[in-house]
């Protein structure tokens, strides 16, 4: 199997789907002439032309609305935000139109649209460019929310998202576009709402998603040296959420740590914690621990940013806490 970058996996997914279906087009800032702000649409303008790979002004509300309107007329747009921080300018179109049109039309109008781009922090980008909005979008009925952590998952999930007849929020990371991974050359898709066990273990379940899951992998390697076996679940899709995958693992390990790069109040980890205690409380041998960022806007200072973000050491401490080995 060949090895490609995350950005190449995204580009392949979009290009393959656009070859398959002429109703699909890509629109966003710098997606065409510049080959994408992160080179995730490299070569697509040359192949598909300016009518299907469309550069826009800095006007998220405008091009999000164009996307929703065109989806109502049987197109299947892919709308790229340079970062989901900028999606806030166009969030009215996402929440009040894309997510609600099927219900408000009595099922007559689907909105087959993908909003994609990077989420969360990406180094010293300061408070307004370092936010994770997965839980905001996942809170809204009518939206599906996907957050892949590697090139293989990104390609398979994006192809499925593009084929979906409902709006999908597809969240990437500036810090993952250069990540490399094995991706098949043959056709494949990955269903939405299906988590993946990235590492099997017996002592504790760690649930995570997106780029922050790398900290769980690093922690698991360290804990293995101490004889502690961690099972790591990558949600991949946060809505719909694969509750059964989580429940099955926790029934085996009896302990749960949730790692998420997001503010601690009312996030995806909070929902996971509720679902586990509501459905399989009797299987828990320790309180659930969730690990998030600090409850402040992201700092610009590199020293403060390091403290603000969750890291592998935080995961090690959390695992030892649920195992009552933190003394």
- Catalytic positions are 60, 129
**In 4-17, which positions are buried (b, 16+ CB within 10 angstroms) versus exposed (e)?**
bbbbbbbbbbbbeb
Structure tokens at 77: 């747009």
Cis before residue 149, ω within 30 degrees of 0? no
* Cα dihedral 238, 243, 245, 248 sign: positive
What's the angle, vertex CA 309, arms to CA 157 and CA 260, rounded to 5? 40
Rounded Cα gap, residues 275 and 174, in angstroms: 31
Q: DSSP string covering 109-167, please?
A: -----EEEEE-S--SS--GGG----HHHHHTSTT-EEE---SHHHHHHHHHHHHH-SS-
Distance, first Cα to last Cα, the chain: 45
């Amino acid at each position: 199997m060949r090895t490609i970058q995350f950005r190449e996996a995204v580009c392949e997914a979009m290009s393959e789907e656009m070859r398959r279906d002429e109703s699909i087009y890509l629109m966003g800032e710098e997606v065409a002439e510049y080959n994408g702000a992160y080179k995730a649409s490299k070569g697509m303008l040359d192949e598909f032309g300016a009518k299907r790979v469309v550069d826009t002004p800095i006007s998220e509300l405008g091009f999000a609305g164009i996307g929703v309107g065109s989806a109502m007329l049987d197109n299947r747009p892919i709308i790229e935000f340079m970062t989901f921080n900028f999606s806030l300018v166009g969030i009215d179109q996402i929440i009040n139109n894309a997510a609600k049109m099927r219900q408000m039309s009595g099922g007559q109008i689907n909105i087959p649209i993908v909003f994609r781009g990077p989420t969360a922090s990406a180094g010293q980008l300061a408070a307004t460019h370092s936010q994770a909005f997965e839980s905001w979008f996942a809170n809204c009925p009518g939206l599906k929310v996907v957050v892949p952590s590697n090139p293989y998952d990104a390609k398979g999930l994006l192809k499925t998202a593009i084929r979906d007849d409902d709006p999908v929020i597809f969240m990437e990371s500036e810090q993952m576009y250069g990540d490399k991974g094995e991706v098949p050359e043959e056709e494949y898709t990955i269903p939405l709402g299906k988590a993946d066990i990235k590492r099997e273990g017996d002592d504790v379940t760690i649930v995570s998603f997106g780029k922050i899951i790398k900290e769980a992998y690093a922690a698991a390697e360290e804990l293995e040296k101490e004889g502690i076996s961690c099972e790591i679940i990558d949600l991949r899709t946060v809505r719909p959420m694969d509750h059964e995958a989580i429940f099955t693992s926790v029934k085996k390990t009896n302990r749960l740590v949730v790692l998420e790069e997001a503010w601690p109040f009312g996030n995806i980890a909070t929902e996971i914690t509720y679902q586990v205690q509501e459905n399989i409380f009797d299987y828990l041998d320790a309180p659930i621990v969730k690990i998030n960022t600090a409850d402040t806007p992201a700092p610009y200072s590199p020293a403060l940013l390091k403290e603000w973000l969750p890291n592998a050491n935080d995961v090690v401490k959390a695992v030892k806490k649920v195992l009552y080995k933190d003394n």
